[in-house]
Amino acid sequence: MSGQGIGGSLQRQQSRTSADAVRFRSVCSCATAEEKRTDARSCPTGLTGGRLAPTDRPPPSAPGVDRVATHDSASAPQRRYPGLIFAAKTTASGLLALLIAFTFNLDQPQWTLLTVFIVSQPRQDGLVFAKSFYRIVGTVVGAVMALVFVAAAAQERIIFLGALAFWIGLCAFGSQYAQGWANYAFVLSGYTVAIVGIPGALDPSNAFYIAVARVTEVSLGITVTATISRLFLPDSFAATLRQAIASARTGPTDYALAVLRSDGTMAGRIGLLKQAAAIDASRRFAIFTDREIRRARYAIACLCGALVDVAASAQCLGSGVHELRKSGHIDADLRRGAADFGHVMAWRAGGIDGPLLRERLATKSIRLRSAFRPAASRSVREHARTFATLDRLSRFLDAVCSFAEANSALNAGRHSVSSCFELTSPNDLRSAVCVALRSILAVVISSSFWILADWPHGSSATVLATIATARLATMSHQVPLAIAAALIFSFATVPAFLLIDVALPLASGFPAFAIVVAPALFACALLMAREKTMVIGYMAGLLFASVGGFQNRMVYDPVGLLNTAIAAVFACVLALVLWSVVFPETPAAVRRRFVRAAERALAPLVAAQPVALAEFESVMGGALVRFCGDFVATGEQCDVCLQAGLTVLGASRELVLLSESARVHLLAGTARLKSEVAADIARCLSELRRNPVQVPAVLTATRDLVRHQNELALRKAEMDHPYARQQREAVHVG
């Protein structure tokens, strides 16, 4: 990797706004002359040979932002007409894949068209490559297992279906423990056994050829789609990830300024948490983006962990600064603290890097703490309150420094920094078992209906029900998706019938075939390109490819088309029933999953075992980030639940810090306050577990937790205050 690292050379951007410049000058007014001279020396030379002030310098970019800008300028049509370009590329991929399948007279050309729509759905090329890779892996594993099942139990229908149900349930269970697109490979290896195995069991002599056809035609669709996606006006997922990382740089500094203005609200902390959740989710899908992003995945994970640490360390800080402002004793103290935030702004503007920011803030913290002396006009408790707030301020700035160092390491191409940690995504055994149970029930119910009703297309219904139920395990909003799919399949059957069984028989040769089919493919892909209509286009495209039965020599069967559409609707309705009745994935279930993860993270702390702060925040922060990503409720309930989760994280973090203190067990009253904080944490988690959640009760529990946390911090500050230590020493000597 080059000396510049993944950051590359910085692009000159427009200077910061005048408001930011004024704010920066005001908070930097207390910096020493030597620090200002060092800041000036750290600024680069401009194009005219003069020095750029820190406020005139653009913030350092995220990994490869300079290359992203060049790529975007080179692909202006992609930015201007993204939907039309995606629809054209998907249509071309589908037609080319069908042409190759027709040319080589493959057995199931419709599988190539289905694969084109499936792997195109992420739209951006890095995601297409990742999904394509894991689709091939899952298809090969599933095809091999299908041949094993056919060879072992093709003549015993009950044993075969039982083995099929067990395998699909096992794969669905494993998908809950996999990350990124690996969970897609798990569920695909499960339902591929149904796609290959059920027709193979009905015709064992052709089972091997069905498996080969499945692997061949899926690979063909993947190859064509990935090639066209990469070569023709690519829509880079790496660019999206880099821009998200670049925008996350301003979050901690904006919140730091809000804290200084006594305006550090919970909404700002929730915003940091959502930024971390978005970047962490993108990082897990970035394995096939480009080489530099792939190498920087751990550094990006550290950046997400640092964002969560900033949000957790800001607990009670805004209210503490506000109390100091009301007390009237903080003029000189707050001016000293303002210089600390001035250094943060200097880092944001690019004047200093992360390690230098930590060095500056460490010096300031020592100077700030040594400036406090007991005064006759202020009681020990008032001094302790100031000391506690500044102690929190110091920890908050330390978390901002960790974020700055992680950002600098990412831009410089370093693997990590010593103080960083990676968020650990929690695994939940109960949720995994529920997913496996739904998948097993889908096979059992659909195959039983097939056998009892003797439906000719019952095998198709069983396969589709298995696919729908297992695939929903890797998605969110399962019930609304199942409802939408059932409605779309029902309404899209009529236009599909008119196109396939009325218009298509009039065409002769592939050019005429393409003229008839291309508008339908383009319309579905165009709907897929828009976020609001993506589900409609995707489901309509899948139905069109499934009921079309495209072959080199077409055989038109209107009754077969109608039965396939009915089987698709039946599969969606069955998946809907299973996901809405059998342990439904409701907001209450998501809250309970977070509570279980939080209780596991807090278990060592409750048992008075030694806990490292980085290890604890890795587990607890990962649970909270997943909770933020999975929680589908909107409005006040969502904000209140996230607020409670963040408050639990912040209070637990303070308990971990107290457990690391050597003198904490000697402080009078500390044990009682720690017990009250632990009890309030348990109460908050208990309120989150309730269904329906009671917003007033959650808010009351959160306020009590914050109040007891403040009392605990104040008690520790009183005992740590120099005047209190002098009194204890005097009593001890006496």
Residue 579: name the closest of 447, 453, 428, 465 by CA: 465
Residue 300: its pLDDT value, please? 85
Q: Which two tokens stand for residue 617?
A: 């925040």
| CA separation for the pair 316, 708 (Å, rounded) | 11
Look at phi and psi of residue 108 and say left if phi exceeds 0, alpha if psi is from -120 to 50, else beta.
Answer: beta
Residue 4: its pLDDT value, please? 37
| Cβ neighbourhood burial of 675 (10 Å; 0-12, 13-18, 19+) | exposed
3-state secondary structure 387-416: HHHHHHHHHHHHHHHHHHHHHHHHHHCCCC
| CA separation for the pair 130, 120 (Å, rounded) | 11
* Angle CA 278–284–290, to nearest 5: 105
Q: Which two tokens stand for residue 150?
A: 């056919």
Look at phi and psi of residue 390 and say left if phi exceeds 0, alpha if psi is from -120 to 50, else beta.
Answer: alpha
Residue 10: its pLDDT value, please? 28
User: Which residues lie closer than 8 Å to 672 by C-beta, 6 or more apart?
Assistant: none
| CA separation for the pair 559, 467 (Å, rounded) | 23
Look at phi and psi of residue 477 and say left if phi exceeds 0, alpha if psi is from -120 to 50, else beta.
Answer: left
Residue 423: name the closest of 315, 316, 311, 318 by CA: 311
Residue 32: its pLDDT value, please? 40
Given a contact cutoff of 8 angstroms between Cβ atoms, the answer to whether 241 and 136 are in contact is: no
CATH of 5-58+244-288+297-412, one of 3.40.50, 1.20.58, 3.40.30, 1.10.238: 1.20.58
Q: Is 319 helix (H, G, I), strand (E, B) or coil?
A: helix
- Taking the domains of the chain in order of start, what are their residue ranges? 5-58+244-288+297-412, 81-236+429-581, 587-733
Residue 320: its pLDDT value, please? 58
Whole-angstrom distance between the N-terminal and C-terminal Cα of the chain?
66
Residue 120: its pLDDT value, please? 87
Q: Which two tokens stand for residue 412?
A: 């410089």
Note if the pTM is more than 0.85.
no
3-class SS shares of the chain: helix, strand, coil, % to 5: 80, 0, 20
Q: Which residues, given as ranges, of the chain have pLDDT below 50?
A: 1-74, 329, 331, 368, 370-377, 662-666, 723, 727-728, 730-734
Residue 55: its pLDDT value, please? 34
